[in-house]
Chain A
Amino acid sequence: MSDADYVVEMERITKAFPGVQALSDVHFSLRRGEIHAIVGENGAGKSTLIKILTGVEKQDVGSICLDGKAVMVRSPLHAQELGISTVYQEVNLCPNLSVAENILIGREPKRLGGINWKAMNAHARELLLQRLNIDIDVTQKLAAYPVAIQQMVAIARALEISSTRVLILDEPTSSLDVNETAQLFQVMRKLKSEGVAIIFITHFLDQVYEISDRITVLRNGTLVGTFDTSDISRLELIAKMIGRSLTELDEMSNIKLESRKHIKDEALLQAEGLGLTGAIEPFDLELHAGEVLGIAGLLGSGRTEIAQLLFGVEKPDSGTLKMAGEVVEHFSPLASIGRGIALCPEDRKEAGIIDDLTVRENIVLALQANRGWFRYLSTQQQYELADRYIKLLNIATPSADQSVKNLSGGNQQKVILARWLATNPQLLILDEPTRGIDVGAKAEIQKLVLSLAEEGKSCVFISSELDEVLRTSHRIMVLRDRAKVVEFSGEVDQQQIMQSMAGSEA
């Protein structure tokens, strides 16, 4: 049965965590020199499968064959020795060290007992140029380069460590913009042509179709199937991932049309010339009750800065902000919560979840902060709240007492959403609420936004996925280079928005 073309074969992989069956009876095979995408919803078992392959976790049942030989991957280090390298979503390199140091740390060329800096820099530069086709100054600090380059450096390091035969890229594109992604894909194609097998995990289906040869779909810890990319249509793929067809997305535009009627005339939030030097140029903004305002723009165009100004994370140094007719004087998250504003921040790990606390505590946190120290929600009230939102948002957790760090990314995002819904906000600002989460959960969040609007609440929806912004927003504001460029209301298509994002309307 074993095919000589397969570099990795994983058979009957089964793994259970306390309370969760993470994988059951999953087969996975990887051909030499192919780009193989693994897709699935959050909690489908993608990460667990990778962790088993890289020796972070051990399977309960099942076998792994490398080049037809059965192996036991004992540890991540052992995986590297076997030629399996991983580049994680968050780049884990040392930003203060130079590019060359990052690539060759631990195996610097030595001379007279010291590090041979010249040889090291030359070696690093050649590696980047030859294998990845990028030409940069390797003596610069890593932090001086954009995330995309940092990711390349991480790949270069992975290639340097061992004669890599299998390269695993875990959500490599989630913080890259279009050009950077294209650059990464070039590198991937080059490695592929050199015979490196690449496992590519992503939530962006466009990218799956652009780059992968085969697709493995997982759902709830079981294998749905492995398909040649050319044989499966996008709709079929989505249906396989979530186990039902997505007519809901079509319904959405109807809901949106319907909800437009509920927009009130008076403004809920007014910003006049609001700005902060170095973060965002002064901008005007008016938001009505029951309205969803989309903000489109490239990474670093000032989207997050606007969200943080409105929520009071940063204090503006020009202009005024009015909430429900009253001029805002005190800027802080706490004051904003009091005014009925909520912000789901972009960076879930750093500014969102509090990972040691339970799901329940994470959900009640903002509401409790607003109530203060002494008006403590009783345990019973806390459980009621938590259980209500776990049900409402379909949060997959064994119980409200689970540590939130044990949840998958999408469910963590839902917990943060629940935290803010619990404060019953008038204005909900969502900064990249769907980043790194699966199709089904994305649709749920978009629907939630529209249903909130129908209840008369306002929403600011920030996303780098344009179709999402288009689908949910009544009005769209476009940013470029930290300034508001234009605002679209009514019918508008993706092309128009992209043009103004790129600045080519002239």
Chain B
Amino acid sequence: MSKFRFSFNLRKITESRLFFPLIALGAILLFDLIAVPGFFRISTREGNLYGNLIDIVRNASTVSLLAIGMTLVIATGGVDLSVGAIMAISASVAAILMNPYVLATELPPHIMKFMSDPNFTYQPLWIVILATLIVATICGLWNGLLVAYGKIQCMVATLILMIAGRGIAQLITNGVRIQIFYEPYAFIGQGWIILPFSLYLVAIVFALAWFLTRRTAIGMFIESVGTNARSSFFSGIDEKRVKLLAYTFCGFCAGIAGLVASSNIKTSDAFNLGVAKELDAILAVVIGGTMMSGGRFSLFASIVGAWVIQAITTSMYAVGVPAFALQAIKAVVVILVVLLYSEQVRNFVQKISARKEA
């Protein structure tokens, strides 16, 4: 009797969306446990926690934020390639609001003094953040309008902003890389309150997204539209509004990711900030078990997906793989993870657990 119960649970577990991402994460951490002595050590300094595990979740926070928004977009059956570019735009907006003087070519010395002052900002921080997020959300809205109302294929529609976005980011700062000296802004990406501050941001955005999708009908509508748009239309679901919302929210998430990333490197770098991050975000969502064709999604599984990607990077550095070889090794590990994940393997595992049940 008790055995039956156990194997029944096993079946439930293997069918869960979280099972495979957690297995993948577990496998990577197991590797660390064996290969890297002291990998799991966590130390305390001034009441704050530090260590490899903390590093993994902290460095994963940009991709986590992107993955939350990307999950909703992918669940509707779409994809958003422009999130990296939106991050760059956000960074430029934030930087220019804090330090607009940099645009003037000849500045009197008393203003130059302000520029590198860690306590100086042109606009107060809350306006900087609010304006940045509004701009990012508008970017998302633009994508949503093109996809939902313009009926442009999502790849093409978001490709527009992906390419144009970095140009826009440069236009905003007049082509200048603006260094950010303002200390409070640096706290967003580098601050610590026991845990890294960016983790709290991820938690807040996750909670917001979870509430939006699971405590209202929006999550069900997203899954419905992603699974079968025509049936959803016949059931009275407004596909366009659902998609518009998903892309808009994705833009919003990219805005926050842009704040975190620019705060981390203390500069607005239109060329390099958030490059290829959209691919990491998509990968995180895929590792999290949401199908690229849309339908069922799990926000938390996507975040675990982001951790998996970062855990690979951190582990490789920890065992001493040089940075230039990292991409290749990462690719191998990703292939393994996605293989572990494929329908065939999945069926195989479920068959085994079903056999145990019988």
A and B from one assembly?
Answer: yes
In the complex, B264 has a CB within 8 A of chain A? no
Given A337-B236, A365-B235, A366-B236, are A373 and B221 neighbors across the interface (CB < 8 Å)? yes
Which chain B positions have C-beta within 8 A of A357?
220, 223-224, 227
Which chain B positions have C-beta within 8 A of A377?
217
Does the CB pair A369–B236 fall under 8 Å?
yes
- Docked CA distance A361–B222 (Å): 12
In the complex, B194 has a CB within 8 A of chain A? no
Does the CB pair B220–A334 fall under 8 Å?
no
Does the CB pair B223–A356 fall under 8 Å?
yes
Q: How many residues of A contact B (CB 8 A)?
A: 32
Does the CB pair A355–B235 fall under 8 Å?
no
- Proximity string of chain A (320-354) to chain B, C-beta cutoff 8 Å, 1 when within and 0 when not: 00000000000011101100000101000011111
Does the CB pair A368–B220 fall under 8 Å?
yes
A347 (CB) vs chain B CBs: closest residue: B230
B8 (CB) vs chain A CBs: closest residue: A18
Q: Would you give the shortest CB distance from A373 to chain B, in whole angstroms?
A: 5
Q: Would you give the shortest CB distance from B240 to chain A, in whole angstroms?
A: 11
Does the CB pair A18–B11 fall under 8 Å?
yes
In the complex, B231 has a CB within 8 A of chain A? yes
Given A354-B224, A361-B220, are A334 and B236 neighbors across the interface (CB < 8 Å)? yes
In the complex, A82 has a CB within 8 A of chain B? no
**Secondary structure of the B side of the interface?**
helix
**Which residues of B269-322 are within 8 A (CB) of A?**
295-296
Does the CB pair B216–A370 fall under 8 Å?
no
B237 (CB) vs chain A CBs: closest residue: A369
Does the CB pair B231–A350 fall under 8 Å?
yes
Which chain B positions have C-beta within 8 A of A352?
231, 234
B230 (CB) vs chain A CBs: closest residue: A351
In the complex, A146 has a CB within 8 A of chain B? no
- Proximity string of chain B (200-243) to chain A, C-beta cutoff 8 Å, 1 when within and 0 when not: 00000000000000011110110110011011111111100000
A419 (CB) vs chain B CBs: closest residue: B235
Does the CB pair B236–A345 fall under 8 Å?
no
Does the CB pair B216–A356 fall under 8 Å?
no
In the complex, B329 has a CB within 8 A of chain A? no
In the complex, A372 has a CB within 8 A of chain B? yes
- Docked CA distance A8–B223 (Å): 44
Does the CB pair A354–B236 fall under 8 Å?
no
- Docked CA distance A109–B213 (Å): 55
Q: Would you give the shortest CB distance from A272 to chain B, in whole angstroms?
A: 25
- Docked CA distance A334–B238 (Å): 8
Sorted from nearest, which 10 A-B pairs have the closest CB atoms?
Answer: A369-B236, A334-B236, A356-B227, A337-B236, A366-B235, A356-B295, A354-B228, A333-B236, A351-B234, A368-B217
Chain A residues with a Cβ under 8 A of chain B: 16, 18, 313, 332-334, 336-337, 343, 345, 350-357, 361, 365-366, 368-377, 419
**What are 17 residue pairs bridging A and B, where the CB atoms are less than 8 Å apart in the complex?**
A333-B236, A350-B228, A350-B230, A350-B231, A351-B231, A351-B234, A353-B231, A354-B228, A356-B227, A357-B224, A361-B223, A365-B224, A365-B232, A369-B236, A370-B236, A373-B221, A419-B235
